[in-house]
Amino acid sequence: MAVAATYPGTPSSEIGTVLERLSEKSGMYFEYSTNEKVALEVGAAAAASGLRSFVFMKHVGLNVASDPFVSLGYVGVRGGMVVLSADDPSMHSSQNEQDSRYYARLANIPMLEPSTPQECKEMLMAGYDLSERLGCPVLLRTSTRVNHARGIVDIGDFERIDREGKFEKDPMRFVPVPSVARAARSRQLERMKKAKELSEVSPFNREEGDGSVGVIASGVAYTYAKEFLEDVRILKLGFTFPLPDERMKRFIASFDRVVVLEELTPLLEERALQLSKGTQCEAQIIGKISGNLPEAYEYSPDTLNALKGLVKVRKGHIPVKCEPIPLPNRPPVLCAGCPHRATFYAVNKALAGQEAIFSSDIGCYTLGINPPLSTADFLLCMGSSVGAAGGFTEATKQKVIAFIGDSTLFHAGIPGIINAVFNDHRYVLVVLDNRTTAMTGHQPHPGTGRSSGRTTEPLDIVSLIKGCGVKHVEKVDPYDLKATIDVMKKALEMDAFSVVVSSRVCPLAVARKGRVVSESKAFAIDQRKCVKCKTCLTKFTCPALAFDGKNVEIVPEICIGCGCCAQVCPKKAIEVPQ
C-alpha cells in the first residue's frame, strides 16, 4: 500500500504504531488524520489516483467515516483500497459493540473477515487484488481477539513503494451528481454480482474436517470451533459479503444439524435459515435465533459449552472450587499526577456543592465518572459533549459543564462549538488539553506539532476557539489549583458560552520521552503535621497516595511531583522533603 491514514482507536491503534515505524523505510505515506471521515477521504483520493490505500479505524470510527464510505461504494476506486474496521465485542474499550458487518451490506462493499493474525495479512493482500479486480474498496472486518491476538505470521518480502499516482479526470465517474450516481448505482449492483461469484470460489470460504454435524463459523469464533469441537465438518467463511449462497446451501443440505458460530448479530445464521428453507431435509440451524447462543458479548471457548448435547465439545479440565472470597474491583483510574484529576477537582471546588450536568466525552477523562470526582453524566460518542451540552442548556434550567479532550476537540468538537456560538447556548466548556491522544497510546494530533514522522505547524487551541467566534476563552494550568478554581468560578458566573482551556502535558507522554515531569522531586507527608483527615486520599484520590491503616503516605516511585495534593491538604502537611 502506498498511502495509509487513520484516527487512533482501540483495538485498531497498534496498526498505526507499526505503520509509523514502517512508513519511513518503505516509502509509504502514513498520516494520523483529524478523524476517521477525513482519513477515509484521504485514502479514497489516493485510490482514485491509482495508488493502493489503507484506512483503518475502530468500529465506531466507521460511523464517523460512514458518509464517504457509502458513497465510495458508488464511485469506486482505481488503485486497491482496503478499509479495516476493528470491532470490539464485549466493549473492552468502547461505548458499544456494534457489528460493522452491516456496513458492508449498507454500502455494497465486499467484506473479508480474518480469524487469525496470519489471515489478517493474507486477507489484506487478497483484499487489494479483489478491490482492483472489482473497482471498489474492500472492508476488512476484524475484532478485538484478532486485533489483540499475537501469533506467528509469515511476513514475506518487503518491496519499496512507489507512491506517485496520477489522477485521470473522469467527472462522470467521480462526481456523483444525481445523474452520475444513478448510473453508478447499477454499476455497483453489477459489481456485487461479480463479487458473489468470486465469493463462491474464494479459498477463504472452505470446508474442513469430517463429522456428523455441520458448523458454519467466521472470525475468531472459527478458532474456537476448530480447536474445541469434535466430529464436525466446518464451513469456514472468510469472504462474508457477499456470502457464497450456493456453497452454504450445499453445505447445509448435507447435514441434519448445522451450528452457526459468529459473534454479535446472527447475520450468517439468518442467511443459513433462509437457505435451508426449501432444501430437501431442512436442517436444524443452531445459533442465536434458535436460542442456544448469546447475541451479546464476545465468544470464548467456554461459549461452546452451551452446545453440549447438540455437538461434541472437547472435554475440558475440571475447575478447582475455590472459596468465594469477596474481591474488590479494580477499574482503571486516572494516573498519578494526571492533570484531568486536578481540573475535575477544581471544577467541583468552583461549584461548591451547586449541582451541574457534566457532559463528558471520549478519552482518559471519561474516568472522571468514578467518585469522588463524579464528573461524567452523559456521553454518546466522540465530540458529543459539546453538542449535548447545548441541548441540556436549552432543555433544562440546570447548570451545564462540558468536558472534551484536545484530540477529541479536533476530531469532532469544533462543529459543536460553532453551534453553541451560532445558537447562543450558554454553558461552560472545559478543554482538557494534555497535548496528546493519551488514551490510545499517545498519537499526535493537530495541536502537537508533529504528525507521523514529521514536524508540522501546531494549532493553537485558544486561537482556534476564538476563531470560532467564542468571546470568553481562558487558559489555565490545572496544576495551579487556586487559579483554576478562580477561572472556573468566573466562567460559571457568566451568562454566556465560555471556554476554559486547561492545559498541561500528560505525564505519561513525558515519561515516554524519558524526561521528568516536574523539576521538583516526589512529595512526602510530614506525619507531624498530618491530622489524618484523609482529605488528600478521599477527595483527590491520586494513586500515589497510600494508606497503611494508620498513616497516609506518598509512594515515591509513583509520585511525579505535580504538587496538587500539597495544595489540597488543609494542614499544609505535604511538601518536598528537604
Partner 1 sequence: MRYSVVIVGVGGQGVMLASRVIGECAMNEGYEVVASEVHGMAQRGGSVTAMVRFGEGVLSPLVPRAGAGLIVGFEPLETYRALSFANKNTLVVTDVERIVPMAVIDGNEKYPDVNCLLEGMTRVGLRVVALDATEMAEKAGTRLAVNSVLIGAASSMPNFPLGHEGLRSTLMASVPERFRKENESAFNLGRKAASKAMR
Stretch that binds partner 1, among 20-28, 202-210, 331-339, 561-569 (CB under 8 A): 331-339
Least Å distance between CB 441 and partner 1? 9
* The three three-digit cell numbers of residue 292, written as one number: 442456544
Q: Which of 4, 6, 7, 10 binds partner 1 (CB under 8 A)?
A: 10
First to last CA, the chain: 57
Q: What is the full DSSP assignment across 437-498? A: BTTTT-B--TTTTEETTEE-PPPPHHHHHHHTT-SEEEEE-TTSHHHHHHHHHHHHH-SS-E
Least Å distance between CB 86 and partner 1? 11
Residue 214 φ then ψ, to 5°: -90, 140
Q: Which of 232, 259, 367, 488 binds partner 1 (CB under 8 A)?
A: 367
- The conformation of residue 538, written as its DSSP 8-state character, comes to I
Counting contacts by CB under 8 A, is residue 282 touching partner 1?
no
Helix (H) or strand (E) holding 82: strand 81-87
Contacting residues for 79 by C-beta, under 8 A, at least 6 apart: 2, 46, 47, 48, 49, 50, 51, 52, 53, 132, 165
Counting contacts by CB under 8 A, is residue 233 touching partner 1?
no
Counting contacts by CB under 8 A, is residue 306 touching partner 1?
no
48 or 146, CB closer to partner 1? Answer: 146
* The three three-digit cell numbers of residue 551, written as one number: 498513616
22 or 149, CB closer to partner 1? Answer: 149
Among 79, 97, 100, 127, which residue's Cα sits nearest to residue 238?
A: 127
38 or 362, CB closer to partner 1? Answer: 362
Least Å distance between CB 570 and partner 1? 18
Q: Which of 156, 157, 171, 318 binds partner 1 (CB under 8 A)?
A: 318
Counting contacts by CB under 8 A, is residue 294 touching partner 1?
no
Least Å distance between CB 313 and partner 1? 10
Stretch that binds partner 1, among 225-233, 255-263, 497-505, 559-567 (CB under 8 A): 225-233
Least Å distance between CB 540 and partner 1? 11
Least Å distance between CB 335 and partner 1? 7
* The three three-digit cell numbers of residue 242, written as one number: 457477499
Q: Which of 167, 297, 422, 547 binds partner 1 (CB under 8 A)?
A: 547
Least Å distance between CB 221 and partner 1? 10
Counting contacts by CB under 8 A, is residue 8 touching partner 1?
no
Helix (H) or strand (E) holding 257: strand 257-261
Least Å distance between CB 220 and partner 1? 7
Residues touching partner 1, count (CB under 8 A) = 59
Least Å distance between CB 436 and partner 1? 13
199 or 223, CB closer to partner 1? Answer: 223
Least Å distance between CB 333 and partner 1? 5
Q: What order do you get walking across the sheet with 232-237 strand by strand?
A: 206-208, 232-237, 213-218, 257-261, 284-286
Q: Which of 541, 553, 575, 576 binds partner 1 (CB under 8 A)?
A: 541
How many whole angstroms separate alpha carbon 449 and alpha carbon 521? 29
Counting contacts by CB under 8 A, is residue 341 touching partner 1?
no
Contact 225, 234 (CB under 8 A): yes
Counting contacts by CB under 8 A, is residue 40 touching partner 1?
no
Counting contacts by CB under 8 A, is residue 114 touching partner 1?
no
* The three three-digit cell numbers of residue 57, written as one number: 479505524
Q: Which of 278, 309, 331, 353 binds partner 1 (CB under 8 A)?
A: 331
Among 254, 265, 166, which residue's Cα sits nearest to residue 214?
A: 254
Counting contacts by CB under 8 A, is residue 92 touching partner 1?
yes
Exposure letters 142-176 (e unless 16+ CB within 10 A, then b): bbbbbbebeeeeeeeeeeebebebeeeeeeebbeb
Contact 421, 391 (CB under 8 A): no
Contact 554, 545 (CB under 8 A): yes
Identify residue 517 by its one-letter amino acid code: V
**Per CB under 8 A, which of residues 401..430 are in contact with partner 1?**
none
Identify residue 465 by its one-letter amino acid code: I
Rounded to 5°, the CA angle 495-463-477 comes to: 75
Contacting residues for 333 by C-beta, under 8 A, at least 6 apart: 367, 370, 541, 543
What's the Cα-to-Cα distance from 282 to each of 160, 236, 251, 291, 344, rounded to whole Å?
A: 53, 21, 12, 18, 61
Least Å distance between CB 331 and partner 1? 6
Stretch that binds partner 1, among 32-40, 158-166, 191-199, 312-320 (CB under 8 A): 312-320
265 or 370, CB closer to partner 1? Answer: 370
Least Å distance between CB 338 and partner 1? 9
Q: Which of 223, 343, 360, 385 binds partner 1 (CB under 8 A)?
A: 223
Least Å distance between CB 527 and partner 1? 18
**Per CB under 8 A, which of residues 118..177 are in contact with partner 1?**
144-146, 148-152
Binding site for partner 1 (CB under 8 A): 10-11, 92-93, 115-117, 144-146, 148-152, 220, 223-224, 226-228, 300-302, 316-323, 325-335, 364, 367, 370-372, 439-440, 508, 537-538, 541, 543, 545-547, 557
